[in-house]
Amino acid sequence: MQIKKIQQELINPMNEQSSEPYIFEVDLDHSGKRLDVYLVEMSQQYSRSYLSKMIAQGNVLVNGVVPRKRGQIIENGDSVSLTIIPIDDYLSSPKPEKMDLKLVVDDEEILVIDKPPGLTVHPGFGHIGGTLVNGVLGLGYDLPNISGVTRPGIVHRLDKDTSGLIILSKTEDSHKYLTKQFKERAVEKTYFAIIKGKLSSSKGIIDAPIGRNPNNRQKMAIVNGGREAITEFEVLFYIGKYTFVKVHPITGRSHQIRVHFSSLGHPILGDKTYGRDNVNLSNRLFLHAKQLIFRHPASKELVTVSCELPIEFEKLAQETIEKKDYLQLIN
């Protein structure tokens, strides 16, 4: 079926190069829905804002006619065509911006940055500027565009609200070498998190598939048929009604650690997306990427890169344990 074909092919919109239109025939289950909502459900990985752009640009037709508006109601039997245009075509090259970034590694092949919470990694619809990429370009670095003009040097993800280590490549060769390591799960990642409630297991493995939340396409969820997602964890100590955990994500799905702990009934402190009424005085997400172990693109030797845990973690921990004990546990 055509619908099955498009769902299989629209996996990575940032690299999509096809301009051949895809055709959908509206069935009874989708009759009466808004056009933009329908397209989000059909194409899975594209955001509503991106598909709205496609409608506005005339890349969507309903029964062969350009719709009057993105909220046009579709009916049973309608034919909807969607022509995919690479998202980079709608975003100009990121502009350099002055930004105070903490560089952990800066050599001829790579940059490793300790990203603060609240900083989006790369430009996209809704955040054209003010991203990590803009800040890196503002420091004068010329990064390869192998992942697209909006993602120069980017080889892996880090959520906007998550702080900690992120690697950027300076050359195409290093980009390919690092990307391969992440794809093959050869990079060892260590996170620290503070979660709500007292986790009863001292250590464990969460093995639950993750995909788009069928009720909210902007969120991820544990779903049947989702992509494999595995998270190892170890409880270090308790802080009153919270648990301080060390986390090793084996896979790298979007929002993986947040979704997995939320599924246990222990959302990460400060996670307003996956934890109901989950606020804290520090107004931040208590999830931090503290350490990465990988093979350096130049030497091919294993390197370990670490950064400090944010002060907010230490302040909470001191309610329970001495600073010297805390430092011993996290290092």
Catalytic residue check, 271: no
The per-residue pLDDT for 84 is 72
- Using the predicted structure, report yes or no on whether residue 18 has a pLDDT greater than 70: no
Which of the four pLDDT bands, split at 50, 70 and 90, describes residue 15?
Answer: very low
The percent of residues above 70 in pLDDT, for the chain, comes to: 88
Residue 125 confidence (pLDDT): 60
Q: HEC states along the chain?
A: CHHHHHHHHCCCHHHCCCCCCEEEECCHHHCCCEHHHHHHHHHCCCCHHHHHHHHHCCCEEECCECCCCCCCECCCCCEEEECCCCHHHHCCCCCCCCCCCEEEEECCCEEEEEECCCCCCCCECCECCCCHHHHHHHCCCCCCCCCCCCCCCECCCCCCCCEEEEEEECCHHHHHHHHHHHHCCCCEEEEEEEEECCCCCCEEEEECCEEEECCEEEEEEECCCCECCEEEEEEEEEECCEEEEEEEECCCCCCHHHHHHHHCCCCECCCCCCCCCCCCCCCCCCEEEEEEEEECCCCCCEEEEECCCCHHHHHHHCCCCCHHHHHHHHC
pLDDT over 50 (residue 7): no
pLDDT digits (tens, 9 = 90+) for 206-225: 999 999 888 887 789 999 99
Checking if the pLDDT of 112 tops 70, the result is: yes
Q: Which domains does the chain have, with CATH numbers?
A: 2-90 (3.10.290.10), 91-184 (3.30.2350.10), 187-331 (3.30.2350.10)
For residues 1-14, give the mean pLDDT: 35
Task: Give the pLDDT of residue 328.
Answer: 86
Higher pLDDT, 123 or 268: 268
Whole-number CA gyration radius for the chain: 22
What integer best gives the mean pLDDT of the chain? Answer: 86
Mean pLDDT of all residues in 241-246: 96
Instruction: Identify the residue with better confidence: 146 or 257.
Output: 257
pLDDT of 89 above 60: no
pLDDT at 277: 63
Distances (CA, A) of 69 to 7, 51, 72, 132, 181: 24, 12, 5, 34, 44
Please say if the pLDDT value at position 90 is more than 70: no
Residue 331 has pLDDT above 90, yes or no: no
What whole-number distance in Å separates Cα of residue 66 and Cα of residue 59? Answer: 8
pLDDT at position 145 is: 82
pTM: 0.74
Condensed to tens digits (0 to 9), the pLDDT of residues 271-298 reads 989 987 666 667 899 999 999 999 999 9
Segment 148-207, tens digit of pLDDT = 777 889 999 899 999 999 999 999 999 999 999 999 999 999 999 999 999 999 999 999
Q: Is the model's pLDDT at 11 over the cut of 90?
A: no
Residue 32 has a pLDDT of 93
Q: Quick one: pLDDT at residue 280?
A: 62
pLDDT band at 19 (very low <50, low <70, confident <90, very high): low
Write the Ramachandran bin of 27: left for phi over 0, alpha for psi from -120 to 50, otherwise beta. Answer: beta
> 13 or 27, which is more confident?
27
Catalytic-labelled residue, pool 159, 173, 271, 325: 159
